[in-house]
Amino acid sequence: MNALELAAVSYTYPGAPAPALRELTLELAQGEFVVLAGGSAAGKSTLLGVACGLVPHFHGGRFDGRAEICGMNLRDHGPAALAAEVGTLFQDPETQVVMGTVRAELAFPLENRGHSAVAVARGVEEVALALGIETLLERSIVELSGGELQRVALGAALAGRPRLLVLDEPTSQLDPVAGDELLSLLRRLNEEWGTTILLAEHRLERCLGAADRVIALDRGAIVCDAAPSGFLQWAHAAAPALETPGATLIAGLGLRPPPVGVKQARATLRAAGLLPEREAPPEARRPPRWHRRERSRDASLRLRHVWHELSDGPAILAGVSLSVAAGERVVLLGRNGAGKSTLLRHVAGLAEPTRGRIERCGRVALLLQNPGDYFLHDRVGDELDALALERSGLGALADRHPRDCSGGERQRLALAIVTAGEPAPSVLCLDEPTRGMDRGAKATLAQELVGFSQRGVAVLVATHDPEFAASFATRAVLLADGRVLADSSPEELLSGGWYFATETARILGGHRGILTPTQALAQLGATATATASRR
Amino acid sequence: MSYLRRASPLHAARAGVGAAYCAALVLAALVIADPLVLGVLALAVIVAGVAAGVGGRVARSLYLSAPMAVLIVAVNALVSREGLTVIARLGDAGPLGQLDITLEAVAYGAKEALVLVVIIAACALASAAVDPDELLRSLRRVSFRSALTATLATRMVPLLALDARRLGEAQRCRPNPGGRLAVMRAITANALDRSLDIAATLEVRGYGSARRPRRAPRPWSRHDLAFAASAVAIAALAIALPAPFTFYPSIHGGYGAGVWVLAGTLTLAVLAPFAQRRGILR
């Protein structure tokens, strides 16, 4: 019996003009680890919805074809019945937790199935031990961090030991450390428990190493179904936006096979004699004193020893001093809870420092994590005047409801809203702007940020995404426990670490501060040509 | 007001017992007429809050109840026509007639205010020290869906409040913030989105096929036994040994040994379960 069998499945959401899935035929064997790839609105979430029964039972709409999940026909079994065999984890951990304490949350799915009290207690203990959350069992849900909450939600999905686990971008709200931990957990569940994993993820470079198979979707249809290496070959030719940075680098150097992870990429480069020798880590360089004075004098934004201390709790910001010059593009990095969002809220004046001072030269525009929070009207055209809408390239969407736009479009609309009006902002802050965005939308956003900085706007972005940071930043600041740990160039910061490093930097071991495949090809291409001619 | 996880004997007791203990405190406040015993009970509840590690929460509830207590004293003094000992003559108040403030009316108002203070402090203690999830889970055997709805409501209220604050901040970031109605619409739309997400989560956790949960046997800990015994003792003392006290037409009450014994025994019953601190970390 397969974990999932689809035969000519088509599905259209209620009121939608076009189907979200088209004639999908697919089989997932037990124990497979399958990654779903594709741009926004490709149909990944809808396919996951079919796998857990929410489509069509919860969402309604028109469903054609035959779907069997762990031997149960989807027409006869809804999500509640399928929950015995299918565990589900969505993007937002906040909306996946329904009880007040961790123990109650893990017990909930087992109690729903009418298990005996002993079986519930045992199931809770086992899943807590398996996920390493046994110390959280008595904790209240409101005390948990985002990473802990996502683990608890995963625990609730796994409590009944499902045969199929369905995950929709589970790492999109986690920092790289928590995201990597979650992915290793999935790998362990797949290898040790034999759980079939169906995972939709935009940051493919993080999960291809664990996958047995990659299914790429485009406009609701399967366009590629292959092993990770085969998928990367296909992506290089047909969908470069889905190619991982490592694969772009190896293909650009004319090497094969496309690497599914850092280890394989390094092996390929080593075999070709192109892997740079490991260098001693460069000494951290402070900018010369005159340069710092210069930067401080021209600053659009200046924070002097800013503290934010909670009345009954810790200091979220602990003496942060930072100057950002006009036209500078600064990325703020750090794990969840490092103080990035709090810093941006202080910069925008949404919070006042308990000690210290913030000086702003002009208006500060802040785009918070959820672009949907900025929308007030039923039409995109009502959110902005026509000129601003055209200038931001959203003129064609004027009659659409803001909530019906894709993730990238919503982000652009919200950005246009906060930057519209007079006076124009002198500082632009964005908090985690790439959540749930595909690579194309991220590239567009990076270009927009460069455009703002060219108009003299100081740009300050908090993100967990090192690839996105490398694509636009001219300066990188690493925060931890409310303090600035490092303040340097992106080349220095993003090439020297493991978690806060791009895939290219990890492959090349931080060689010469190379962060992107383009930079790598420019520097290694000459070596490759020389090596090839010697051979 | 929300549950605070602390290492204390009251937190370590099962939720049903903790709730019964707090309910007994409320019952005692309602039954006891003697202001001296009530005052001692109020002090005992505050000490119990401190012993449970939620003294700040209980103190804040007292602070919030103070204006209401003052109001009760003032209103009773003004409207009560009983009592013989006039302490102030306010003269003719038109349709209300002659307004005389009597000592008995003030004392009775003060006693009622004290009742209110004890009730609010006991409720604050319950809300901070009794796990609502556990309490509601025990009620799920009686009415599964109602108890789950109550659980969800307790979880959703702070979440929606956070959402509303987030939306408010986003509106402050707009160069032209929307009107109040537009913001309310956005908050409502967001709450509906949240509800849909929660509903989807309930579906995939098997809520649609939920059955009545089976009884979960759990051995009675020393804290369960101590607080259960305390609850019974508090209720019994309050009901069985009423200290006679009358306010009208004139104040009559004994401050003899009996009242002091009752106050001392009641204090002991309220605070004794906190003496045992073994196994309080959960």
Chain B segment 61-120 residues within 8 A of A by beta carbon are none
A115, A116, A156: residue with CB nearest B205: A156
What is the average pLDDT value for chain A, to the nearest integer?
89
Q: Which residues are registered as beta bridge partners of A68?
A: A5, A73
Q: Are residues A75 and A101 in the same domain?
A: no
Residue A241 within any structural domain of the chain: no
Question: Cα–Cα distance between A186 and A169 in angstroms, integer?
Answer: 13
Q: Residue A395 pLDDT more than 90?
A: no
- Ramachandran region of residue A510, left (φ > 0), alpha (ψ -120 to 50) or beta? left
Give the end of a domain, one of A161, A186, A208. A161
**Per-residue confidence band for B24, with pLDDT thresholds at 50, 70 and 90:** very high
**Is A138 in CB contact (< 8 Å) with chain B?**
yes
Residues in B closer than 8 angstroms to A108, CB to CB, are 205
Q: Does B168 touch chain A (CB under 8 A)?
A: no
CA distances from A14 to A9, A11, A20, A377, A400 (A): 16, 10, 11, 22, 16
- Give the ipTM: 0.82
**CA dist., res. A428 & res. A410, Å (int):** 17
pLDDT digit string, tens, across residues A201-234? 988 988 999 999 999 999 999 999 999 999 999 9
pLDDT band, residue A394 (cuts 50/70/90): confident
Q: CB under 8 Å to B38, separation ≥6 — which residues?
A: B29, B32, B111, B114, B115, B118
Residue A529 pLDDT level (bands cut at 50, 70, 90): low
- C-beta atoms of B209 and A366 within 8 A: no
Which residue from B minimizes the CA distance to A350? B169
Same domain, A393 and A490: yes
Measure CB to CB from residue A112 to each of B134, B169, B209 and give the nearest one: B209
Q: Between residues B132 and B214, which one has the greater pLDDT?
A: B132
Residue of B nearest to A53 (CA): B204
Q: Is the CB of A146 inside 8 Å of chain B's CB atoms?
A: no
Question: Are A79 and A178 in a shared domain?
Answer: yes
Contacts of A83 in chain B (CB under 8 A): 203-206, 209
Mean pLDDT of B224-246: 90
| Segment 333-362 of chain A within 8 Å of chain B by CB | 345, 348, 350
Same domain, A342 and A479: yes
Angle at A469 between CA A468 and CA A475, to 5 degrees: 160
Q: How far apart are CA A507 and CA A497, in angstroms?
A: 12
A388 touches chain B (CB under 8 A): no
- For B100-125, the pLDDT digits (tens) are 889 999 999 999 999 999 999 999 99
* For residues A149-159, average pLDDT: 90
pLDDT band at A71 (very low <50, low <70, confident <90, very high): very high
For the ranges A412-421, B33-42, B144-153, the lowest mean pLDDT is seen at B144-153
Structural domain contains residue A299: yes
Q: Taking the domains of chain B in order of start, what are their residue ranges? A: 9-135+222-275, 150-209
Q: Is the pLDDT of residue A292 over 70?
A: no
B209 to A113: CB separation less than 8 angstroms, yes or no: yes
User: Which helix H or strand E contains A470, and what residues bound it?
Assistant: helix A466-472
3-state secondary structure A118-130: HHHHHHHHHHHHH
Average pLDDT of the residues of chain B: 86
Q: Closest approach of chain B CAs to the CA of A105, in angstroms?
A: 10
Three-state DSSP at A498 gives coil
- Select the residue of B175, B198, B204 nearest A83 (Cβ to Cβ): B204
Boundary-marking domain end, from A161, A183, A213: A161
**Domain contains A141:** yes
Q: Which residues of A touch B164 (CB under 8 A)?
A: none
Cβ separation B206–A366 shorter than 8 A: no
- A42 with A106, same domain: the answer is no
Whether residue A101 sits in one domain with residue A70: no
Q: Decide if A160 touches B, using CB distance below 8 A.
A: yes
Instruction: Indicate the pLDDT class of residue A426, thresholds 50, 70 and 90.
Output: very high
Instruction: Give the integer Cα–Cα distance in Å for A111 and A104.
Output: 10
Distance between CA A503 and CA A259 in Å, rounded? 11
A157 contacts in B (CB within 8 Å)?
Answer: 204
Spatial distance between the Cα atoms of A475 and A489, rounded to a whole number of angstroms: 5
- Residue A403: predicted pLDDT: 81
Residue for token pair 């004293």? B73
| Residue positions counted in chain A | 535
Q: Is residue A409 domain-shared with residue A457, that is, in the same domain?
A: yes
User: Is residue A317 a part of any domain in this protein?
Assistant: yes
C-beta atoms of B154 and A100 within 8 A = yes
* B158 touches A at CB < 8 Å: yes
The residue among A89, A85, A67 whose CA lies nearest residue A9 is: A67
Report yes or no: B152 at the A interface, CB cutoff 8 Å.
Answer: yes
User: Quick one: residue B14, left, alpha or beta (phi over 0 = left, psi -120 to 50 = alpha)?
Assistant: beta
Query: Do A521 and A510 meet the contact criterion of CB atoms below 8 Å apart?
Result: no
Q: Starting at the edge strand that comes first in sequence, how are the strands of the sheet with A329-333 ordered?
A: A364-367, A427-431, A458-462, A329-333, A475-480, A483-488
State whether A36 and A178 are in the same domain: yes
How many interface pairs between A and B have CB atoms less than 8 angstroms apart? Answer: 157
Give residue A501's domain range.
289-517
Residue A116: list chain B partners with CB under 8 A: 214
Q: Does A370 reside within a domain?
A: yes
CA-based nearest distance B217→chain A, Å: 7
Which of the four pLDDT bands, split at 50, 70 and 90, describes residue A410? confident
- pLDDT value of residue A303: 95
Instruction: Kindly state whether residue A274 falls inside one of the protein's structural domains.
Output: no
Give me the pLDDT at residue B228, please: 97
* Confidence grade of residue B25 (pLDDT, cut at 50, 70, 90): very high
Mean pLDDT (whole number) for B4-13: 90
Residues in chain A closer than 8 A to B175 (CB atoms) = 363, 365, 417-418, 420-422
- Looking at residue A505, which CATH number applies to its domain? 3.40.50.300
| Confidence label for B183 from pLDDT (cuts 50, 70 and 90) | confident
pLDDT at residue A296, rounded to an integer = 58
Most confident of A518-532, B82-96, B130-144, B210-224: B82-96
Which pLDDT score, from 0 to 100, does residue A202 have?
A: 87
Q: What residue in B sits closest to A373 (Cα-Cα)? A: B167
Residues with Cβ within 8 Å of A51's Cβ and at least 6 positions away in sequence, in order, are A4, A69, A86, A164, A166, A198
| pLDDT value, residue A532 | 58
Q: Alpha helix (H) ranges present in A132-253?
A: 146-158, 176-188, 228-238, 245-252
Q: Is A289 a residue whose pLDDT tops 80?
A: no
Confidence of residue A411 (pLDDT cuts 50, 70, 90): confident
A337 and A309 in contact (C-beta within 8 Å)?
Answer: no
- Asked whether residue B1 carries a pLDDT value surpassing 60, the answer given is no
Q: What is the number of domains present in chain A? A: 3
More confident residue, B186 or A44: A44
- From the CA of A525, how many Å to the nearest CA of chain B? 46
Contact: A138, B5; criterion CB under 8 Å: yes
* CA distance to A175, A290, A318, A501, per residue, from A272 (Å): 34, 45, 48, 24
User: What single-letter amino acid sits at A386?
Assistant: A
- Would you state the pLDDT for residue A230? 95
Q: What is the pTM of this model?
A: 0.78
Nearest C-alpha of chain A: how many angstroms from B119? Answer: 25
Same domain as A447, residue A360: yes
**Percent of chain A's residues with pLDDT above 90:** 57
Q: Determine the residue of chain B that is closest to A428 in CA distance.
A: B173
Same structural domain, A81 and A194: yes
Smallest Cα distance from B178 to chain A, Å:
7
Choose from A72-76, A100-104, A421-425 the range with maximum mean pLDDT: A72-76
Residue B216 to residue A121, Cβ atoms within 8 A: yes
- Looking at the complex, does the CB of residue B166 fall below 8 Å from at least one CB of chain A? yes
Residue B214's pLDDT band, with cuts at 50, 70 and 90, is low
For residue A283, is it within any domain?
Answer: no
Question: What does the pLDDT read at residue B40?
Answer: 94
Residues A365 and A447 grouped into a single domain: yes
Q: Does A111 touch chain B (CB under 8 A)?
A: yes
Q: For chain B, say whether A54 makes contact (Cβ under 8 Å).
A: yes
Which of A374, A376, A379, A401 to probe the B interface (max B CBs under 10 A)?
A: A376
My answer on whether A31 and A148 are in the same domain is no
What pLDDT does A178 receive?
81
Q: What is the pLDDT of residues A439-468, one digit of tens each?
A: 888 999 999 999 999 999 999 999 999 999
Q: What is the pLDDT of residue A291?
A: 53
| B212–A contact, CB cutoff 8 A | yes
Q: How confident is the model at residue A535 (pLDDT cuts 50, 70, 90)?
A: low
- The candidate with the shortest Cα–Cα distance to B168, out of A362, A385, A370, A404, is A370
Q: What is the mean pLDDT of residues B192-203?
A: 87
pLDDT (average), residues B6-35: 93
Banded model confidence at residue B142, pLDDT cuts 50, 70, 90: confident
Residue A351 Cα, gap to closest chain B Cα (Å):
10
CB contact under 8 A, A114 and B216: no
Q: Is the pLDDT of residue A305 over 90?
A: yes
pLDDT classification of A408: cutoffs 50, 70, 90: confident
Which 194-223 residues of chain A touch chain B by CB within 8 A? Answer: none
For the record, the structure tokens of A241 come out as 């936006």
